[in-house]
Amino acid sequence: MSEPLLHSCAPRLFYIRTFGCQMNEYDSLQVLRQFTALGYAPVEDMGRADVIFLNTCSVRGKAEQKVHSFLGSLRRLKEAKPYLKIIAGGCVAQQLGRKLLDRFDHLDMVVGTRAVNSIGRLLQQLEETGARGVFLEDEGHIGLGFQCGEILPQKGITAPLTIMQGCNNHCAYCIVPSVRGAERSRRPEEILEEIGLLERSGVREVLLLGQNVNSYGRGLEEKIDFSGLLRRIVAETGLSRIRFTTSHPKDLTEDLMDCFAELGPLCKYLHLPVQAGSDRVLARMNRRYTAAAYLEKVDRLRRLCPEIALSSDVIVGFPGESEEDFRKTMELIEEVRFDNLFSFRYSDRPGTRATAFEDKVEAQTAAGRLAELQGRQAEISLGKNLAEVDATREVLVEGPSKASNGQMTGRTSQNKIVNFDGPLSATGKILRVRISVAYSHSLKGEPL
Ligand code: SF4
């Protein structure tokens, strides 16, 4: 048996640390809901927690190193508070399983991404028995993760919502299919029900999440694809705004592109990861589109919806990337002029095909290419933001700005952050704001 619970009349406190992507943030929300339903209370000071849940990310080497060093740093806390329970979830947990438990003897439990729906039950079990364990089972269903009617009031007016998990694509550099498993979509009714609950708790904007939302619906009994789901959400809910991520370019259908022109609440913003501008590199990455096919889709999107903003991901220094290949990536970003770009240096992820490729790019060369790409993109992003000055944009106000004292912050439909002077009571409203100043990553404006 574990040690008796201390302070039995006060609620036990839990702390969640999330590494990585928005999918992980959504999973952390599910953990928060389940722990709260058990009577635990969230705490922002990790030192006061009785339970620590660490949601890990293994998508890049750097992120995984951070997880390992954070886990190591918890040893002293556990020595000072032996009753503290430490749980590791997320992709590193799914991937390493027992190895993680063996490596960190102060870790109590490892819960993989496919077992996160059972986290409440597993915590209870841990509290009752004190037995360390590894739980990675695939329950084959992405449930709501909480009882209907028990949803917590949302902190913000925007909320993430996972509509599918897993991926069938097997890009050569990506660990996701092996840790998140094959694609599974949630039923539309379940998604609509969760949106209803979110709306009742004050949410006005939902971010639909999936590793590849464009393949939503495959395998469901009901015949529905992602554009069909978007149309149902617009018809059956009162959401002011809908966003989604991530989209695989090869699965971006004409019907889905039409949605940007047709559906008012669908934000005019698309994150469409290109990864490289060279067809040779794209083929080795197993992306299954060419640069020309990508550019054609961008062209069609802009014809259908001229105000659309685009962002993308690029991996620099993929094995075998020559100087000529890299120049093609630079040409592509010059041609598209993305509003925003997330760029990374390739790193080996154990268990992926690219790890076995022998023609690795020298670290210094890859770092130089990344710096060049990021430098140029910073100029393009600033130029795009400068073009916003004097325009009037509708801004969904999210609340006080963390960066600038006394200011409020919100986003345009194009996902641009706008800070402005305004009252707290504007939170949750859509205001018309005239843009007055542009920075690289945000805008400043005056409400009209
Ligand atoms: S589409 Fe490719 S990069 Fe995206 S999750 Fe699937 S395998 Fe990974």
Task: Tell me what pLDDT residue 3 has.
Answer: 40
Task: Tell me what pLDDT residue 216 has.
Answer: 96
For 108-130, the pLDDT digits (tens) are 999 988 888 889 889 999 999 99
Task: Tell me what pLDDT residue 256 has.
Answer: 97
Residue nearest to atom 8 of ligand 1 (CA): 174
For 288-297, the pLDDT digits (tens) are 999 999 999 9
- DSSP result, 102-130: HH-TT--EEE-GGGGGGHHHHHHHHHHH-
Mean pLDDT over 89-103 rounds to: 90
Mean pLDDT over 149-168 rounds to: 76
Q: pTM, whole model, 2 decimals?
A: 0.85
Q: Report whether residue 352 contacts ligand 1, using a CB cutoff of 6 Å.
A: no
Could you tell me the pLDDT band of residue 5, with boundaries at 50, 70 and 90? Answer: very low
Residues 6+ apart with CB under 8 A from 420: 395, 407, 408, 409, 410, 433, 444, 445, 446, 447
- Lowest mean pLDDT of 91-100, 136-145, 151-160, name the range: 136-145
Task: Tell me what pLDDT residue 129 has.
Answer: 93
Rounded distance from Cα 417 to ligand 1 centre (Å): 27
Atom of ligand 1 nearest to the CA of 167: 6
Provide the 8-state DSSP code for 177: H
Task: Tell me what pLDDT residue 150 has.
Answer: 46
Residues 6+ apart with CB under 8 A from 72: 104
Task: Tell me what pLDDT residue 139 has.
Answer: 54
Q: How many residues does the chain have?
A: 448
Q: Is the peptide bond before 113 cis (omega within 30 degrees of 0)?
A: no
Q: Which CATH number fits domain 13-135: 3.40.50.300, 3.20.20.80, 3.40.50.12160, 3.10.580.10?
A: 3.40.50.12160
Distances (CA, A) of 362 to 197, 261, 319: 51, 44, 9
For the chain, give the mean pLDDT.
Answer: 90
Mean pLDDT over 305-324 rounds to: 98
Class of domain 154-267: alpha beta
Task: Tell me what pLDDT residue 85 has.
Answer: 96
Distances (CA, A) of 100 to 28, 46, 55, 95: 19, 21, 13, 9
Rounded distance from Cα 448 to ligand 1 centre (Å): 42
The architecture in CATH of the region 278-387 reads 2-Layer Sandwich (3.30)
In this structure, what are the phi and psi dihedrals at residue 436, rounded to the nearest 5 degrees?
-115, -35
Could you tell me the pLDDT band of residue 149, with boundaries at 50, 70 and 90? Answer: very low
Mean pLDDT over 93-115 rounds to: 91
Residue nearest to atom 2 of ligand 1 (CA): 171
**Among 169, 215, 281, residue to substitute to test ligand 1 (most atoms within 8 Å of Cβ):** 169
By the 8 A CB rule, do 382 and 438 touch? yes
13-135 and 278-387 in the same fold: no
Beta-bridge partners for 395? 412, 431
For 275-309, the pLDDT digits (tens) are 999 999 999 999 999 999 999 999 999 999 999 99
Q: Report whether residue 182 contacts ligand 1, using a CB cutoff of 6 Å.
A: no
- Return the number of other C-beta atoms located less than 10 Å from residue 360's C-beta: 16
Task: Tell me what pLDDT residue 172 has.
Answer: 97
Atom of ligand 1 nearest to the CA of 180: 5
Task: Tell me what pLDDT residue 45 has.
Answer: 94
Beta-bridge partners for 266? 242
Task: Tell me what pLDDT residue 155 has.
Answer: 63
**Among 178, 184, 248, residue to substitute to test ligand 1 (most atoms within 8 Å of Cβ):** 248
Could you tell me the pLDDT band of residue 180, with boundaries at 50, 70 and 90? Answer: confident
Could you tell me the pLDDT band of residue 404, with boundaries at 50, 70 and 90? Answer: low
Q: Report whether residue 174 contacts ligand 1, using a CB cutoff of 6 Å.
A: yes
Class of domain 392-447: mainly beta
For 220-270, the pLDDT digits (tens) are 999 999 999 999 999 999 999 999 999 999 999 999 999 999 999 999 999
Q: Report whether residue 167 contacts ligand 1, using a CB cutoff of 6 Å.
A: yes
CA distance 382 to 386: 6
CA distance 276 to 279: 8
Provide the 8-state DSSP code for 305: -
Q: Report whether residue 212 contacts ligand 1, using a CB cutoff of 6 Å.
A: yes
By the 8 A CB rule, do 164 and 184 touch? yes
Q: Report whether residue 169 contacts ligand 1, using a CB cutoff of 6 Å.
A: yes
- Sequence-ordered strand ranges (E) for 152-283: 158-162, 164-165, 184-185, 205-209, 241-245, 269-271
Mean pLDDT over 10-26 rounds to: 85
Could you tell me the pLDDT band of residue 28, with boundaries at 50, 70 and 90? Answer: confident
Mean pLDDT over 172-176 rounds to: 91
Rounded distance from Cα 388 to ligand 1 centre (Å): 33
Task: Tell me what pLDDT residue 1 has.
Answer: 39
Task: Tell me what pLDDT residue 84 has.
Answer: 95
- Which of 417, 323, 431, 423 has its CA nearest to residue 372? 323
Could you tell me the pLDDT band of residue 65, with boundaries at 50, 70 and 90? Answer: confident
CA distance 410 to 396: 5
Containing H/E element for 58? none
- Return the number of other C-beta atoms located less than 10 Å from residue 65's C-beta: 11
Mean pLDDT over 337-348 rounds to: 96
For 346-397, the pLDDT digits (tens) are 999 888 999 999 999 999 999 999 999 999 999 999 999 999 999 999 999 9
Where are the domains positioned within the chain? 13-135, 154-267, 278-387, 392-447
